[in-house]
Amino acid sequence: MEREDLYDVLGLEPGASPEQVERAYRFSLEMYDQDALATYSLLQPVELAAERARIQEAHDVLADPEQRRAYDEAHGFAPPESSTVPFPPHGGSGTEEVELPEVLTGADLQRIRESRGVDLRRIASITKIGTRFLEYIEEDRFALLPAPVYLRGFLQEYARAIGLEPKAVVKAYMRRMPSKP
């Protein structure tokens, strides 16, 4: 099995900003805490300690500019200065006024995302939403989508990531959700 690079350990892209490194580090430590519900019954204490050690190592290298530069050069990554924002800016502010259709499809979202040069892996690493759920949204695979309360949150994060107004995206996409009998 191929060993993950330090960015993968924290779920980051190589161009992640120092703030993103810190945020991912804290999130990862919480995820692998000995009392965390997400891993409580899945991992043994020894496995938790090993994972936390990998997270600490990734943080120690990526949080120190000199160590990070050396690591990036050794592994062929672009320098961190090449991208200090998680997504390309569009129009200056975080969200852009775009005329959304009254009913928004996953294909519409995919087309907007691709036109802005943002890939799903990048959205997943920043938002911590699984790539498969992002794919299900874009493919309109309603049977595989999470409960509506979670889906709304996923849609809001997706919208922010591609520079759209979150509430408008949720409203337009949720209109297509099949109603439960």
Q: Which domains does the chain have, with CATH numbers?
A: 6-82 (1.10.287.110), 106-174 (1.10.260.40)
DSSP string of 35-51, one letter each residue: T-TTTTTTS-HHHHHHH
User: Of the ranges 17-26, 56-65, 95-104, 147-156, which one carries the lowest mean pLDDT score?
Assistant: 95-104
**CA 112 – CA 95 distance, rounded (Å):** 13
Q: What is the pLDDT of residue 31?
A: 80
Mean predicted lDDT score pLDDT of the chain: 81
Cβ count within 10 A of residue 76: 7
Query: Helices (H), strands (E): how many in the chain?
Result: 9, 0
Which of 89, 111, 104, 121 has its CA nearest to residue 11? 121
| Percentage of the chain exceeding pLDDT 70 | 82
When comparing pLDDT for 65 and 100, which is higher? 65
C-alpha closest to that of 9 among 133, 125, 154:
125
Q: Give percent of the chain above pLDDT 90.
A: 36
At residue 78, the pLDDT reads 56
Whether residue 139 has pLDDT greater than 90? yes
Tell me, what's the pLDDT at 94? 46
Inter-residue contact 32 to 59 (CB < 8 Å) = no
Segment 52-78 mean pLDDT: 89
DSSP summary character for residue 33: -
8-43 pLDDT, tens per residue? 888 888 888 888 899 889 888 888 777 766 565 677
So what's the pLDDT on residue 36? 65
Q: What is the pLDDT of residues 82-132, one digit of tens each?
A: 333 344 444 444 445 567 888 999 999 999 999 888 888 888 888 888 889
Q: What per-residue confidence (pLDDT) applies to 180?
A: 55
Rounded CA-CA distance 114/94 in Å is 17
Residues with Cβ within 8 Å of 24's Cβ and at least 6 positions away in sequence, in order, are: 10, 11, 12, 16
